[in-house]
Structure 1
């Protein structure tokens, strides 16, 4: 099996330069041309990195544990793709954990978490808090990201409230009648934004608390709600998955989007753009969030003593044909 020394002899480079070219994509000591030569030689010789040896030599495994609320939904899958791309660009291998936000039990610190150099925690504020309460001596670098971040660790928060205010104001300005808030929780910035704008406009709030965010559930609920209560002028929805379901429910009940009812979602997933009537949505700055989160993790790995790192990014309304 080829080694770093084999590559260094072939290219007449030092083993340290070859190692940096292969394992440290951000190293300022290796030019792009040299890095490409090393990568091509490694492929030609069949070089396979020795992860155990590399960890012993550097003190790092180059693994990162990704805690994700629900990695199988379109939004979290989208964020996961961005985190994967950032991880690989920086020479790290991500390990995904699906962490439930519904259970009250403490999140168990698992073997991949112990092996990882750090943890990225996406919208798992409460499970992370319980985990740190249970294991107070943990010293692993942790970065929270998303709308729900634990403030005692480094974090990149998305401000959903301002973008949601823009969305509800848009509906108030363009629709004269009932506007329904189709939401999952009362203690949520989207719900707070809806209540605030409706109160300022002098219109009554009409909140529907949904039992879950599944499309099938919300499609059936929306159709029944419209048939029983009449069709409102607009729906402001918890997220794009729910908005897609409400869209289908309105069609099932015999109403057209946007002629009869306007719909606005939240997240900015790709699916929302490809409906017959593309959905307006509150777009999250996912690319920037993931990039800054990785910068925070890198900073913390390089110097564990730096002060708490915090960033807040605004979400914004993207108007499409549905509203």
Structure 2
């Protein structure tokens, strides 16, 4: 029996209209454009409008991907949405997007792996297709992370933005996704987390609001080390070496982490997709946004090998090596 692969046949993305530059942030918090740029590479970020939800961005990205693919929503048999900022507690945002698209009836669920959410979702959908259970899948990464940002906390408020990206996967006899590697270690929870929730409770006391807690330096150290070993693992799983990777499409959190990963691959930054300067860290939206940019800018071409990787709160880390 011939091997079944899952192939990306189209990409899509969506960003809120409102753009907030580093200069804009200088007016509300004690920071500077130079400080933000030299430490993160970020120049601006998109911020969701009042009433604009994760589901709205996910829907727009999904529509674009489906239109590009020439696939009707009714043809989908699976929707997996990576997010850590769902519209409501339930139903899942994937279900809400499914109904708006008109794909009612297929399997639809969210995956919460923080910034690794899209790559986790891609890994799950890939297995559904390879097992023969699905033939056409929609995979989305979408976030409105600025809803949990404390705009008085200069260490974190400069880092995040809102956005969504999506891909359409279909079963193919031609190679598509060669390998996905998914990992987590909950022992690092204290370094990057949000303390509130349904079961733990929402608290109004000072210091217990819905906001991101992050130990930046420690996260940076673990991320660089972990992504370094992830690259080697992914290449081995796919039976490939560094020279066969045409493009690195990393999670867009910090330019210095991206540069460290590229160095591990012996890749020049000319072969790395960077959008962190335009979008900041959009969590699970960042990899699909960068992928869509790579495709629509004409950089990533059909037949090329792309390495996607991400690192997020949990900690979680994940990768996918694929032929586009």
- Asked if these proteins are the same fold (TM beyond 0.5), I'd say no
Indicate the structure whose relative CO is greater, using CA pairs within 8 Å and at least 6 residues apart.
2
Higher alpha-carbon Rg: 1
* Richer in strand (by share): 2
